[in-house]
Structure 1
Amino acid sequence: MRVVADIPNPHVKITLHSYNGKYILKLEKANLEQIYKIEETEVMGDEGAKALIDEEFIEAVVNRFVEMRDAFVSTVRRNG
């Protein structure tokens, strides 16, 4: 897997990889991560993949991280 870019963002760590005909978009916050796989044919090169990362997408990702954290905290409280 080849790292294409580390994309600066104040809310999450974003790394774009290329592997086996796909772009792998990895977003991390604390101990959680989200991964999106994008066929290389769906975007116009590295810049096309980077262009998918707009403010609306980042807002949805951050909200999903909050939901993920809340779900995990809830299960730890119930079962821990």
Structure 2
Amino acid sequence: MRVIEEISFPGFKLSILAMNQKFILKFEKGNLEQTYKVAEMDLIFGLEDVKKMLNETFLTTVMERFKQMNNDFADQLEQL
């Protein structure tokens, strides 16, 4: 697995990796992470297409999912 690029967004970090003919989008926020895999053969322009995926709608969804993940995790910790 090799890191292609790292991008910081307000609230989280994105690493774009390449492995086994796939691009991996790894979003990290604190102790949480989300990973999305895209097959290179599904893209016409490779990394350029991956970057087009990073629009405001998708990034907002990622942030909302982090909020939900954090709430779910905090709820589980409270039950210990």
Q: TM-score, normalised by structure 2?
A: 0.92
Q: TM-score, normalised by structure 1?
A: 0.92
Q: After TM superposition, which residue ranges in structure 1, 4 or more long, deviate above 6 angstroms?
A: none
Query: Which runs of structure 2 are paired with 1:1-80 in the superposition (5 Å)?
Result: 1-43=1-43, 44-78=45-79, 80=80
Paired with 1:58 and 1:27, the residues of 2 have a C-alpha distance of 10
Aligned-partner SS, 1:33? strand
**Cα RMSD (Å) of the superposition?**
0.9
Q: Give 5+ residue unaligned stretches, structure 1.
A: none
1:36-68 deviation per Cα after TM superposition (whole angstroms, max 9, x unaligned): 010001222111111111111110000000100
Q: Give 5+ residue unaligned stretches, structure 2.
A: none
